[in-house]
Chain A
Amino acid sequence: MCLGVPMKVVSRDGDTVVAEVDGVQREANVTLLEENIEIGDYLIIHAGFAISKLDEEYAEETIRLMREVFSEEDMA
């Protein structure tokens, strides 16, 4: 029950958004977020509420650094 899933916002109506993951759409409430939410944002949805907005820059950065550091031929 503690699961939180990153989902992409596809529409918004007041405090309620429709978010999607793997082709499944769900309504979620965004009252707990301070940030402005726009269509296309990724939110972590837990029990019908967005609890965090995913920072795409950090996500890309994390992956880029991981690949950079762990891609040398001699690693494996």
Chain B
Amino acid sequence: MIIEKISLHNFGPFYGDHEIKFNIAEKGVHIIRGGNGQGKTSLQRAILWSLYGKVLDRSGQPIRPTSLLNLNAFEDDIYEFWVTIFFKHNNEDWSVFRKMSSKIHSDSKYQENMILNVIKDGQIIAGSDSQHEIERLLPYHVSRFYFFDGEMLRDYEALLEQDQDSTKLLKDSIEYVLGVPYLKIAKEDLSFIEKQFEKERNKLIKKMGSSNLQEVAENLQSVMADIEDKEKLITVLKEQKDRLRTEILAKKRELADLSEVRDLAQSRLNLEMEIKDLDARKSQILAKMQIKVSGLYKTLLIPPAQNVISKLEIKSNDVLEAYNKRQELKNIVSRIEKDIAEQKCSLCGAILDQEKVINLEKELKEAYTKLELIGEVPEPPMDLVFYKKRLQGMISEAVQREDFVEINKDLSDIDYKIAVLSNKLTDIENKLSGIDSEMPKKLEIEIQDAVRELGRIDGLEEAAKEDLTELIKTKGEWERIMASIPQKELDELNKKIYCTSSLVQVFDDAISKYRDERRSDIEKTASEIFRQIRSKDEFDHLKINDRYGLSIITEKGKSLDRGEWRSSGEEQLVALALIGALNKCAQIKAPVFMDTPFGRFDTKHGEKVLKFLPKLADQVVLLVTDREFRKGDEAVLEENIRDDFTIKYLGENEGSVIKKTS
């Protein structure tokens, strides 16, 4: 099967008519890009819904038809949606058209009015056969290996736990891929024929009327009825167990998601602590900065202060000089006046004669003149001196600008670290929003209850099987008695019963042998793929046990327990190797759709897986986000890219659209 075109109408986020046409002239990889919530998973679901009329969400629950209708269509009161897939299979052109419509928005009404049209090479396939034809091309049970969701790889990784119960459904699906059920169906058909012969024989015995035979036949019939009842009981118990296992698996998956939540919560706590420490460090630096800043004004005032100091110096010096000169003259006047009055020199003590007195009077006059010239001189400007000293002191106390360079650097470093951590914190908080913290505990209790119930049903099944073994033994005894009674017609039936019974045994052995061979094929192919994408060279190959449990074998032949190499990226590699092998070994050829398959890979492993993809199937469709399929990844796929589309959600009014990537 190679998908050529998909047409959608009002399906999921796709409002109105949309179409995606693949270039299938050559084998290769088709890329469909889109961020989260743009419509990639919905596109994959549209294909599955078109093929099977049902589609599951990520918790394994069916999505209701009312949830499949586009919201805008619903608001427009248009209650119809459809999907058509056009594909080629064995050189024949096929189309599958599925439509749901109703007058009211109701799940049951949509279901009632579902239309399925399957056309093969222009011939319409009759209604009841159409679903059967699809199942023949790609059985629903195996579709999970062709349309898989990277988010669901955990289911496959569960195989690595070697837990034989929890993955039974997955193992059954694997057997479907390998074709084991065809042999099982043949065996069941033969068992049915054997029972028919036995019933015929009983009727014959009754007809023959012999009392001996009658008694043996009645006993045989009674035992056979008991066997049938027991077989029915065992089937019912098995179904109950399957349901419980599915429930347990879903709950374990949910719990695993929540354990990631616990890890995230711890990371959030650590980040919050780191940010708190950085905030405290920042506060210390800010406090240091504030102290420096409080003195920075003095630094800024240095240039004007230097200017003022020099101005003040000039001004105060001028005033002081005049003051000192006047004071000196005043002293001279005072001395001369005293000498003249006392007629005695105050300097040498000599008595002054008339001539000397005249000279002194002359000197006094000159001093008066000079004093007059100087005029009034104010007191020395002590406040100017005070301010000058203040400013000089200020300059010596000023903060160094260079101190702020280091503070700025420290603050920038801390701000950067806080921003990085805050971004991480926001991511985690987004992931954690709306999660119930009590949920893990509730789930653990529910899982324990379900496991207990499973144990109880196991006990009932064991008891029923023991009873069945006893009944089969009793039946065998009655058959031996029956065989000892010679009757020709009866002999014929006995021979037929013997033949069919032998054939049942042959098919039983064949199933076991076929299963072993196919498992060996898968093991070889998975190992081959694993070597191409493995994370470590010392991991040599994969080993698959009889219940499809997986282990890694090292170069030295050691079988590694999952706990010894646990890493989500490596687990995903092993799961991908298994899926690749199942695709290659399957009897069915179909395209492989991979939705967000690289979520947990680093760049190196992402590249390895990308290189391997073109070998996985004739048509591989990658539904990827820009985070997992980055710029340059196209080069890794080399010449194998056939198409490159982008799904974009344009908003509430227009919904999602599919366009060629520009």
A and B form one complex: no
